[in-house]
Chains A and B, each alone.
Chain A
């Protein structure tokens, strides 16, 4: 009893001593900082994407600025930077009116501004050939009719709800900041807005509408306006085709490896190499797809069936089919590994029970084993889809296009055109951000595209995580 107590106090003493001098030292804190830093980076990346991606659609107020020189500039303030050598700051304005000024942007030093206001009659018009117009509305001419003020606004808003072909003929008389007038046919206007006169409620509605337009329209004005619908469509179609190809083959290979092949050194080796193929760079798969599918198989198909169209290739160039096949090959290891894990978790007793009751192997597989492994397979396919949706590098080799003239699905026989090139969200992002004409104007849309892509991929991954969680819990109850 006595030594026990002594021992206790000893332990207590050493514990106090340790924490006083902090013999764990500062290292654990550095490690904790590593976790915090990773979290901080992830959170700031997502926040940045969300703010810049969604903020772009908010109807930003327009400013009318009078300079010391007497010039007047109307535009949307974008950002400010410090001038070199501490000479104050300058502000970037988006002024639009590219066909008049030749430039969408203007830098103005803060010191040069003599007056600054936000008049309610400033408007912003989105048009098809030239991008945005920013200025004032003078009048609307429709046949003999000439409308001004509120009548004009009501006329325009009503006309814009109609599709282009049903709109009444009309011409907008617009005035720029420096007093020049423009005649804009109503048919080429896609959007008309007076952000300074809008209330919060109206702005929120307009914001929702513009997000919807972004999701449902095609790109226009050299990717600086419009939406990404063809890219969404292309991505989804390619991913669907890919999963239709990869699921049966991946499951087949996994069943063979786990249920039929003899478990020996060779199967172990094959298993390791399948697992490793998941780590092979995606660009290598792209090279394989280009060399074998496009040039090899595609070239042969062309010379056999489409020789009348040569030398312009039909299947001998990148297209939807080859892209899906390449990505299916790329994601095959993911599906095989996930399915195999699911199969390996099923207790042997289940199989033996089925066989003991007289089932053949096929019956055992289809009625007992596969139903139990379904969540694992589903997890594998979702992970594969998530990987494929975010993958761009191999697609650059096997059939993605910066602007596909035709959608891969249309009303023409055979409806699904596997040989056509298609648009992809990830590649659209890359192309707009790095090869666009006016990158500055396109960046907000690139942010929105990036946000959309990240959301799709994260959503798919979260689904896979929850499925796996559900699967584990279910197994836990069974075992």
Chain B
């Protein structure tokens, strides 16, 4: 904000100082903003020589990398979106307020875990483990949601005293041991199932019947690891959008006889839809640009393959590997900068879209809050 024009004063030094400082701040501020914007200028400038060469063959080198990026992002989003949105819906509308005030910052701390640590765990521990226990992993992916539903079913069947002891509003916490137990159960059951119905070795079966190769570091691992990294950002934004739905709307729906889930599904989600959408978009932007996790967990093999059990190589990982060795001004150098430009444009567009959608949503909430 600008202060109103000052009355004439007899202390010119203070005013000179003020002018000078204002000028300095303006120059500094504009300079910083220009420096930030210079990134896009630099990237475009350095890719211009490619246009002059006009060599479409070398451009084709980038396409498996682009494919790898999309595949990795897709795998991560497939893993992260349901979990993050489910968690957001639960914590915005079902969780007890006291638990929520503790749990939300905890889940947001997940975002702070550095990518290099996640990548290390995924590449050196998770990948060999999954290779040895592929059946257990797949079984866990199917069994854990089912076991949650089973827990819900059992809960409706138990006595009221138990239900009061273990309410739905605290389920986010007391489900943790239940899920851990179910994961152990799945790990124990999977080899038996594999032995009896799948002929002893799932990987050989996949290879023989469907011709699927299995690479140790593959898209499945990348999906799980990068999903872990993306969950908190989607969760946090989607939860904000859902929790900010004017409570009058939900109360109105429930007063008309809707159950809590119906109110959520029919009222809160459509209202907060744009916010949830922008949360998913921002998550996708993060998944596309993430470097260390893909670099460490993907095997870095540039393949055109849709199989979740084969390796991939992404644009960002290629930049990290090849750019330090590329001679400045060479073909590879410009190509890699083109890759960086593609990443920049994609994430910038996605984020801008998400930001615009979110601002619209904020205005809509203000309108709804004032009329109701």
Contacts and interface: CB of A to CB of B under 8 A. Distances in A.
B248 interface: no
Of the listed residues A40, A284, A292, A355, the one surrounded by the most CB atoms of chain B closer than 10 A to its CB is A284
Contacts of B95: 35
Nearest to B118: A45
Contacts of A241: none
Given A32-B148, A277-B36, A392 B90 contact: no
B188 interface: no
Interface string B103-128: 10111011011111111110111000
Interface stretch (B56-64, B305-313, B320-328, B361-369): B320-328
B36 A279 contact: no
Interface residues of B, number: 114
A414 interface: no
Contacts of B319: 283, 286-287, 397
B18 A38 contact: no
User: Chain A interface mostly helix, strand, loop or mixed?
Assistant: helix
A434 B123 contact: yes
A45 B145 contact: no
Interface string B21-40: 11001101110110111110
Most central of B4, B89, B285 by chain A CB within 10 Å: B89
Interface string A22-40: 1111111111111111111
A249 B123 CA distance: 38
Contacts of A396: 320, 324
Contacts of A23: 259, 261-262
A329 to B, nearest CB: 7
A255 interface: yes
A253 B112 contact: no
Contacts of B42: 288, 291-292
B43 A430 contact: no
A283 B320 contact: yes
**Chain A residues touching B, range:** 35 or more
Contact of B114 (A277, A285, A390): A390
A290 interface: yes
A362 B147 CA distance: 63
B262 A392 contact: no
A308 interface: no
A454 B288 CA distance: 23
Interface of B: 1-4, 6, 9, 14-15, 17-18, 21-22, 25-26, 28-30, 32-33, 35-39, 42-43, 46, 82-87, 89-91, 94-95, 103, 105-107, 109-110, 112-121, 123-125, 144-145, 147-149, 151-153, 155-156, 168, 171-173, 175-176, 178-180, 183, 228, 231-232, 235, 257, 259-262, 282, 285-286, 288-292, 295-296, 316, 319-320, 323-324, 328, 336-337, 340, 343-344, 347-348, 350-352, 355-356
Given A32-B171, A261-B29, A360-B17, A25 B120 contact: no
A18 B156 CA distance: 12
A199 to B, nearest CB: 33
B175 A33 contact: yes
A40 B180 CA distance: 7
A39 B172 contact: yes
Contacts of B337: 287, 291
Given A39-B107, A352-B3, A392-B116, A270 B39 contact: no
Given A29-B155, A281-B288, A281-B343, A386 B112 contact: yes
Interface stretch (A62-70, A190-198, A457-465): A457-465
A371 to B, nearest CB: 16
Contact of B259 (A24, A260, A273, A275): A24
Contacts of B89: 31
24 contacts: A24-B259, A37-B144, A38-B110, A39-B172, A42-B110, A45-B118, A260-B22, A281-B291, A281-B343, A284-B39, A284-B347, A287-B319, A329-B35, A348-B1, A360-B17, A361-B3, A362-B14, A362-B21, A390-B112, A426-B116, A427-B116, A430-B120, A453-B114, A457-B112
Interface of A: 14, 18, 22-43, 45, 48-49, 249-250, 252-253, 255-257, 259-263, 270, 272-277, 279-288, 290-292, 295, 318, 329, 332-333, 336, 348, 351-352, 355, 358, 360-365, 386, 389-393, 396-397, 426-427, 429-430, 433-434, 439, 443, 446, 450, 453-454, 457-458, 461-462, 465
A429 B259 contact: no
A280 B112 CA distance: 17
Contacts of A361: 3, 18, 21-22
A274 B1 CA distance: 19
Given A35-B87, A42-B109, A277-B348, 19 more contacts: A34-B82, A35-B91, A40-B176, A42-B113, A252-B29, A253-B28, A260-B2, A263-B1, A273-B352, A281-B316, A281-B343, A287-B337, A360-B14, A361-B22, A362-B14, A365-B21, A453-B117, A461-B109, A461-B112
Given A283-B291, A284-B39, A332-B32, A36 B262 contact: no
Contact of A27 (B39, B114, B261, B344): B261
